[in-house]
Structure 1
Amino acid sequence: MKKKLAALITAPILALSMAACSSGGSSDDGGVDVNRVRVVLGSSSTTADTYQNAHAFTENVSKALDVNMKADAIGANKAFQALDKAKPDGSTIMFFHDMSYLSVKYGSQPEKFGLDNWTVGPVVSLNPGAAFLAKHDAPYDDLVEAAKWLKDNESETLTFAVEAGGTSELSLDAFYLWVADTYGDDVAERIKVFATGSDEEKNQALWSGNVDIIYGSIGGNEQYTKDDVEDKVKEKFLAITASDRVEGFDIPTFEEQGIEVDGEPFTFDKEFFVLMPKDVEDSFSTALDDATAEAVDTDAYVDELSKNHFQTDYVPIDESTQYIEEKRDRLESIIDQAPEFDELAS
């Protein structure tokens, strides 16, 4: 799976090719000048997990590729538009996670931005800490207890702060379907949503009492779960969606809690990967993949990710399309069964 030898050969060749080119043009022998690669992000935040994973990617892969790569946090709409207009030379690529295709399924992005219209590059990392949280004094300590509390308190609702059309809505959909299957539609229908975007907005919604549960992450919310945090902002983890627990944290997974959809445990690993123009030049995509294979195996890349409890998760470009499409198809079946976001709006 790793391609270190190819990376060592390709990067110097690419560097020589770039040196022979004028900015934005091609050399006489057909080499493409990509001495700068703009990496547009599907998130506009420079503190959340997309930027943190992208920074690790650009810092380490740029060294292996021997080009200047710059992460540009412009948000999903602008990022897709930039990729749609990008040249095939690799001078603009996109870095995002599973929301890139979920947002199309949910209808928050147009069909023309679907996976079929891009070249899926390597999968590079994952955030295993995607989680649901509540205030520290909530009358439940995990999602199963929250569902039982909702069943036993017929006049109450559970309001979740999630972002429409993304990974948070998907995870809520899975929980909703499990509650409906376990306790009936009358209980599930008292699950509501409060539409929010950034992690900061979700936290504020929880602290102000507008919601009961928020979608966050270990990396972003751990600071609010410590013993010395003020009660008014103190939080607790209820569950993570990943396949496995995160080392060092006593947070159960959905699967451990028995949360299932269609008789199968619900697991969702939030993975980060590259998207490139459909007609991207093979020389660039191959060089990028080789450089990624080299970079993800270095201590520098692993150490930078681990600071925020992220992990390397390399799937090479010759396997990534099938890998992501199969994951998309599995998750889309959950979306098809769940209520529309507007139906759950409180």
Structure 2
Amino acid sequence: MNQSTPLFSILIANYNNGQYLQQCIDSILAQSYTNWEIIIVDDASNDIISQKIYNKYNKDSRFTIVSNQTNRGCGYTKRKCVKMAKGEICGFVDPDDAITKEALEVMVNEHNYSKNLSLIYSTHYICNSNLEIEKIADYVGLISKKESYLSSNSNKVSHFASFKRKLYFKSSGIDANLEKAIDQDLYFKLEEVGNIKFINKPLYLYRIHDFGISQFKNNIEAQLQFVKIQKRAFKRRLFNKSIKVKNINFILLAKKELIVNNAMALQLFKKGEIAKMYMLLLKNSKLFLFDYRFLILRMAILPLKQYFTNLLK
């Protein structure tokens, strides 16, 4: 890494966010740190605004803009972004969000200071649909030295996050099959190949609007996906002894999945999908394995589970 001015790759995975994309790009053009490139991978958008923006910057050497021939999903598109990056440092910016003027400069200084940091993250501003600041996110924060991010059972790591590309390729990288919780899955993997650091300063503007991929109606599904990637990370660390970070508690994870499943069951009830609701609730029975007090209950509900399985056939 060039210790003074390493190239910073800003990665943007876009799908029909043309109405916000220019504001995102403007925040990058205004950066105090100037050695950057923008990688935009479009996931087969059909909005005219995105295409107009691409045409505007296509001849700018700092921009690399490509499109998937068909819609491949967020995980695939983000993985492709990293593959195309040339910078020593990378960071994702969602096309409907923006970064503060000093964001890249702050991140580069921190990465230059410590070679063993695989991931550096800051806090961010919560903004309305017009990207007007409302507050600073209160859930992002420092991970205790006694814990890993995974064992903290929290969502403390978030935007703005940057990582060393060299260390990224020591992990399995972004899962191309994921549609939600993609960033969190990446954070767990980066924690396994280096140290992570928190910067207590908002460097990112996070826009709240109706079409956000993990907002509003998608939130419950995103939470459930987050639990699933936690479980996968736990198993990865449990069986790979070379990973020197603390493991998560499986019982805490099971309790969290119970909460999310119950919330999803409520949504099914509101839709009138009663049989599916009961099936989801009955799936919770497998989580009782983590506590011997529930073993009798698990055995008792097996006939009921078979009944609703037959209803769905």
Q: Structure 2-normalised TM-score?
A: 0.27
Kindly indicate whether structure 1 or structure 2 has the higher relative contact order, using CA contacts under 8 Å at least 6 residues apart. 1
Q: Structure 1-normalised TM-score?
A: 0.25
